[in-house]
Structure formats: C-alpha cells, structure tokens
Chains A and B, each alone.
Chain A
Amino acid sequence: MLDLWKFAERNFSRTSWSGLALGLVTALVFLFATDRLLFSGNAHLQVGMQKNAVRPDERVVKVWRDRQDPRGFVQSSLLKLPENQFGLAWISSSPISIRQAPPGHRFFGRAAYELTEVMAAQVKRINGKPLWIHEYMIQGARTGDERRAVLHAASDPSVDAILMTMNPPWLFNDWLQYTKSNQRASIFAMKGSRFGDFLQGLKFVRPSWILEAKLSRYFSFVRNRYAFNRAVQKANRLPFPLMHKPEAKKSKYINLNYFYPGKYFRAPKNMEKYKGYRATLMKQTLSEKGQGSKFFKLDIQTLAESGKPVLLYISPLPKEMRTDKEGVAYMQAYADLAKKIIKKYGGPNIHIATDTAFSISDKLIHKDIVHMHYGQALVDKLETLMVTDLNLKVEKAGGPSVYESKKR
C-alpha cells in the first residue's frame, strides 16, 4: 500500500551524485512553488491568537500568541491598529496579571485582569496620539521568553515606546529560563537576533526546531503549521476512540520547588507566607556570567539599538519584605547588577526604575512575591515615570473610576 521500499530500491539505489543534486533541487523548487501557490496569504493566521487578542474598546492588543504556536507573535498588520496610534509595548510575565481582586478593586467588575487594561483606561493619549498598549505577556514567561518579545517589540515600527517588567524572582534565575512552549526556536528566525542569541538558544533548543525556524522564513506551510493543524482540528472534542476525557496526570517532580533543599526555605517570621517564592528569589545568579544576565545583556543591546524610549522597572515586592534585611540586600544586589549591565551595554534611551521594588508597596495588595490582588499604584507610578524619565506627554482620562463594580 504505502510501504514503498521496493519502489525506493528499484528507482533510487543507483542514483549518481549529480542525479541526487538534481532531484533535491527539483524537489525544493516544487515545494517552494506549491507553498506559494497553496499556502501563501493570511488564511488561518488568526488561529493561535490569545482570546480577545484585539479589543478596540480598551486599546489593548495581545501580541503574544498561544504558547503552542511556534510563530510567537501576531504581526501588527493583523492587530487592526489605527494609523496615528502611539504604540506602547509592555513586556512582562505574570506580575501585571491581577488575580482574585477583592470587591472595590475589581476592574469594571472583573476580579482577573491585566494592568495594561488599567493603564489604557486611564491614559487616553501620549504625545497627542491615542495610546494603544501592545501587551507582550504570557503566563509563566521567563527571561529567555521575554528576550523574543524584546526583539519583536524593538523591530516593530508600530511600537513607539517600551515598558519592561523586571520579574524579581526570575530575571536572573538560572534554574528556569523559559516557560514550556513551542516558541523557543523562533528566535533563530527573528529580525535583530544576535550571535549571543544563537549561543544561548543552543542550550535550550533542539536542532530540529532550529531547522523548522529557519525553514519557516521561506515556507508558509512550515511557518503556519500550527494554524493549519488547528484549522483541521475540532477544538474541545474528544479524540477517537476516547469516551471520556482522561484525567490529567501531572508528576509533582516537575515542580521546581520540590527539589529545593529545606535550607532554602528559611525566612524571617513576617516573610513566612512567602518563603517558597523568597527561596526562588534568592537562588538567582547575580553575576554577568549567569544565563539570565546574558539574556538581559542581549535585551539591553537590542533596546539600545532600537533608539525607542524604554523604561525598565522592578515589579513591586510585598511591603513585609522591607523589613527582611537579607531580602532587601539581595534585591539591592539584583538592582545593582541590572544597572551595571544597562550602563555597560545600554544607551541614553534606556531608563531603569529600581525603587519600584519597595517605594509603592504600601499602596498595593500582594498575593505573593510576584502577583497582586490590586496594583493601581504601580500604574500611577509608571505613568509618572513615563513623563519624568521618558519625556512623554501623557494625557490622562477623566470620568468614573475603573474600579466601580459594574461590567463595561
């Protein structure tokens, strides 16, 4: 039927080198032509976008695609942005995700939302243009993932300025540099990637993925394979021959914290409830030799070359940590390393705010070291810094508070 080994032996086993070369070239030309003929165009490109990727009413667009989609990010042409918009890229992992907001702090009645939405609701215009926030965020993104977001935002002409969250426990943490996704290899096909990206990537990316990423530049069916695959798949349907959804079996041994020796779990009394995250935070490699530092250095080089105004800030930590001497000292070393790298590899367009780690903690409600239940003060602080440090003209909106408990 389709076991064609006799056919293969009969027809190919006496091939010469020139015949082989001719065959390969012909096959490539055929593939290329077929690809242009059948797969070019934007069919299925919407597949892989995050839910509510384009929300014109809130002027927030989610640029990061579904983590399984190897294309990584949505092209700005698909985001339906107005021509005269001011694009502010906000690159972050989960610290900008507000979770379980208590009554009175819910965003138009929603207990789960992103700070990007709050900022878009409050700031109408920047430099006289309507503000559109390009949200580069997937849950669990780590320094290696954010590297790709930096490359994308830096080279996207619709992005005018960049805000970047420095995640306190993860930025320089060599224990975990990526979230699970199919997107790691896309860096090999991204505009602006550097030799350092190649060296870093080799540690975490398989050769087959690099091949796919390289081919995806030339072949639409490779680039859009996830979309094509999803297009023929009916979502949420049980596959044959299953009758019930199988129970998800998750081994606890993939949980990073499980492997920490007990000694890392010590914490001052008032930090007891954060001790797991605190242990993670204090397990970073605070030297330029660390993996995280190398990614950060590459980010800074790319951002400097882009010439776009950039504001990096340390995501706020809970107020209890202010009295944790060891923790504060650690964060000071963390900030010093970041400043050192920026000084060495950055440019005048890059600004860093390290005081955000503790200066506004009183006004926030933290869920844990990374996440918050309420984060208005951070948005206010960032708005101020955009004016003072980035020299942007920020026009705030009046009107009712976004935290009124009603649905928009």
Chain B
Amino acid sequence: MGGNANFGIIVDFVVLSTIVLALRAIFPRAITVYVSIAVIGAYAIYSVAPRMLPAYLFFWVIIYLFQWSMHLAATRLNGWVSRILTTVVILATLSPMVIWKFWQGPFMDWFSRTFALLLWHTFPQVIAADAIASILAPIGLSFMIFRALDLLIKVRLGLLKPIAPLELLYYAFFAPVLAVGPIIEYEEVRLPRKLSRLPAPGDVAVGVFRISLGVSKVMILAALLSRGADAFWKGGQTGFVGAWAALWLFSLYFYINFSGYSDMAIGASRIHGIKLKENFNNPFLKTNPQAFWAAWHMSLTRWVQRYVFIPLGGMRKNKQYFAAFMTIMAIAFWHGISYNMLIFGLYQGGLVVAHRWLLNKRLASHTQENKTLPVSAFKSFGIFTSQALAFPLLTIPLSDIPSFYAHLIPGM
C-alpha cells in the first residue's frame, strides 16, 4: 500500500499495540503476545506490498525445516555428514541475500513478478492493494536473514532447541525490527509462558520515551540535517568548505536517522516489556575505530563478532588482524556486494587493523594513553571525520567516487 515503509511499519506496530495490550489483559499468556505480534508483523509486510507476504512466509517455512535439519546435524549426525548439512543450510539461508545483493535488478524483477503473479492468481481480492505498492524491493531482507541464521546456528550449537511454528512466526514477524533492525536474537524476545495482565508501567514509560526520542530524531533532527547537507552541497556545485560542511552534516544525519529508527524499535518493544539490546552507544564520541564499531549498529557488530570474528580466531594473537579485517569486510558486504563496499571494507578494515596494531604496540611498551578532555575530543573528531568520509560510499555510484572526493580537496 506504500508510504515510508521503515517509519510506517514501526508506527503501525505502535498503533496496533493497543490491541496487543488489550488482548494480553484478557488472556495474560505468552501465546497471546506471540500470535498478535506475529499477525501485526505479517500485516505490516502486507502493508508495504501484499506480494511480499507470501515470499516472506515461504522463507520462514524453509527456516522452520532448516532448524530441524540443524538439530539433526547437532544430535544425530556425525563427522562430515553433519558438517556438509550445516554448510548447505547456512549457504541456502544466505543465498537470497547474496543473490539480491549481487544481481539487484534481475532479482527484483524476478521477485516482484513471481510473488505478484502468485498472489494475483491465489488472492485476487488483494490486487488493488498490491497495485499501489510503492516499494517492490524485499524490505528488511538482510536483517531477516541474519536473524534466521542466528537461530539456525544456535540450534546447531545446541544453545537452543528448535522452536515451535508459532514462536518462529513471532520471531520472524516481530514487527518493530522488520524494516531497519536491530538484528535481534530469539532469546531477547522470548517470553515466560505466563504474563502479568499489564506490562510494568516503567517499561511503558521507557518505551514511550524511546519512541518519542526516535520520532524526534527521524522526523525533525535527521530531516533538518539532511536538508542542511543538501543546502551546503548545492547540487554538487559547491566548493571545498561547502563540501566538508555537507559531509559532516550528512554523517550526523546518517547516525541520527539510523539510531532514531533503533530507538523507535526498542521503545515499541519495551511497551510490551520486551527488552531489546541497544543498537547505538554514542559512536561519534568514541576515540578509536574499534570502539566506534562496538558502538555503531551494535546488533550487527555483535552478530559478526559471534559468527565471523571468533570462528576466524580473533581471540588468538596470531590471527587477530586477519579476523578483525574479515569481520569488517563481512559488515561491508552485508550492506551490499559492490566495489563501493569493497572500498568501504578495505578502508574501515585498514583503520581497525592499524588501530589494533598501534594498541598492541603501546601495550607492549607500557605507554599510557592520554585521556585528557581536549585530546579525547580531538580523537573523537578524528573518528567522526574518518567515518564521515566513508558514508558517501553507501550512496554514490562507483564512477562518481573520484569526482566526489575531489570536492573535499582544496583547489580541485
């Protein structure tokens, strides 16, 4: 049905939360919350574009089967059979994301055509709603796939038992995080079987505050910062000073907008007493690249730390640089598989590895870090600027990269 999908899904959820709260007051059971939130999430996907719903349902049916395969691999199978099954399941789960990021145009056409036709032939009643959908890209696909993988790997490692279909649907269609994350873990949203009739008022208060904060960030601050960046940019006709001003404002916009959505998602969940882990922790106040990544899109960083950094031997001295570099590359390619993201990954990976090397060197020589306020402020500004330089790579076409960065050099 269209509209701003990211914003709309969360606000839809907040509006419909009144129904969830009312149902919970009547039937204070986890199953009440599971069913109602799953239905709202499915409806939210339908609201973006009805044709997406069958696609997403199909994906999670597959995941349901995959978690039993992983359980089988963990409990009944041994050796190479288990390893092959695990690898196949992980690759198959990753494949829609990889295909989408590699061949965006053809994938979009295929996705749109296949699921529209399916819907149009099975539920012609929804054609009128589908025909006015604005977004035909699979919204939130990367978040969804990492959410699914987290579940599957935990089942494989024996940390979780395969979850029941209803709980899986709740996890799959957990509305607050569908469009822009954070990447949640099942343990974060699992509820005790019996619930109180009402959530704690403190949870509701924190939730309302976080939602209000998020809305203010996205609708006011981010909007103004973005317009400010555009005003300095003058459609590309700006000079050196204007380009830098635009770059800094854009970076602030990027952070405020993204963290605003996270605030809204975390707040919307908290209204129901569901405490999601934080996704941002003032990243631009950090004084080194590693601390920045530990405070920026933290749910993604935690995910890659668990499934890339540690398995690659990041905790071991001799493999730490390689693991840290590959972890950053994984983050880069999660955003998109392109030359831009390769440059983004090389740049960010280079910063993280260089910092780690300097840190190790300092530790070895027992040199104390200067933590006075002016020095910290200077370092934070350095981190802010170093990140600001990377963000445009997420947006501009490859061919425009040289001329864009030339704007930032005086006299060019």
Contacts and interface: CB of A to CB of B under 8 A. Distances in A.
A201 to B, nearest CB: 11
B229 A1 contact: no
A208 B218 CA distance: 15
A182 B127 CA distance: 19
Interface in B157-203: 201-203
A243 B112 contact: no
A232 B227 contact: yes
Nearest to B270: A8
Contacts of A256: 131
B128 A291 contact: yes
Interface string B399-412: 01001100000000
28 contacts: A2-B259, A4-B213, A13-B206, A15-B201, A15-B204, A19-B201, A20-B201, A20-B208, A23-B208, A174-B128, A175-B127, A182-B3, A204-B128, A204-B132, A205-B1, A207-B11, A208-B8, A209-B8, A211-B15, A238-B233, A238-B236, A239-B233, A240-B232, A241-B246, A242-B395, A246-B397, A253-B136, A256-B131
A13 B117 CA distance: 49
B150 interface: no
A160 to B, nearest CB: 33
A238 B231 CA distance: 10
B328 interface: no
Interface string A55-96: 000000000000000000000000000000000000000000
B7 to A, nearest CB: 7
Interface in A255-272: 256, 259
B226 interface: yes
Contacts of A184: 1
Interface centre among B116, B209, B234 (most CB of A within 10 A): B209
Contacts of A17: 201
Interface residues of A, number: 57
Interface string A249-290: 101111010010000000000000000000000000000000
A379 interface: no
Given A4-B213, A180-B134, A239-B233, A253 B109 contact: yes
A175 B125 CA distance: 8
Nearest to B393: A241
Contact of B278 (A5, A182, A229, A238): A5
B285 interface: yes
Interface string A1-14: 11111001100111
B400 A244 contact: yes
Interface of B: 1-3, 7-8, 11-12, 14-16, 47, 105, 108-109, 112-113, 116-117, 120, 127-129, 131-134, 136, 201-206, 208-210, 212-213, 217, 221, 223-224, 226-227, 229-236, 246-247, 249-250, 256, 259, 263, 266, 278, 280-282, 284-285, 392, 395-397, 400, 403-404
A149 B284 CA distance: 49
Contacts of A206: 1, 3, 8, 12, 47
A23 B205 CA distance: 9
A20 B2 CA distance: 34
B280 A175 contact: no
Given A179-B132, A203-B128, A240-B246, 17 more contacts: A2-B259, A13-B205, A23-B205, A176-B131, A176-B132, A178-B128, A206-B47, A207-B12, A234-B230, A238-B235, A241-B233, A241-B247, A241-B404, A243-B236, A244-B397, A253-B109, A254-B133
B129 to A, nearest CB: 6
Contacts of A165: none
A209 B3 contact: yes
Contact of A3 (B16, B109, B250, B259): B259
Contacts of B8: 206, 208-209
Contact of A259 (B47, B105, B117, B229): B117
A397 interface: no
A210 interface: yes
B113 A12 contact: no
Nearest to B40: A207
Interface string A310-324: 000000000000000
Contacts of A1: 282, 284-285
A16 B201 contact: yes
Contacts of B128: 174-178, 203-204, 291
B229 A240 contact: yes
A12 B205 contact: yes
Contacts of A2: 213, 217, 221, 256, 259, 282
A27 B116 CA distance: 44
A243 to B, nearest CB: 4
Given A4-B213, A8-B206, A254-B131, A240 B201 contact: no
Interface string A212-252: 00000000000000000100111001111111101001011
Interface in A158-192: 174-180, 182, 184
B39 to A, nearest CB: 13
A23 B201 CA distance: 12
B205 A237 contact: no
Given A211-B11, A241-B247, A253-B116, A19 B131 contact: no
A93 to B, nearest CB: 15
Contacts of B208: 20, 23-24
A204 to B, nearest CB: 6
A204 B400 CA distance: 40
A12 B230 contact: no
Contacts of A16: 201
A1 B381 CA distance: 13
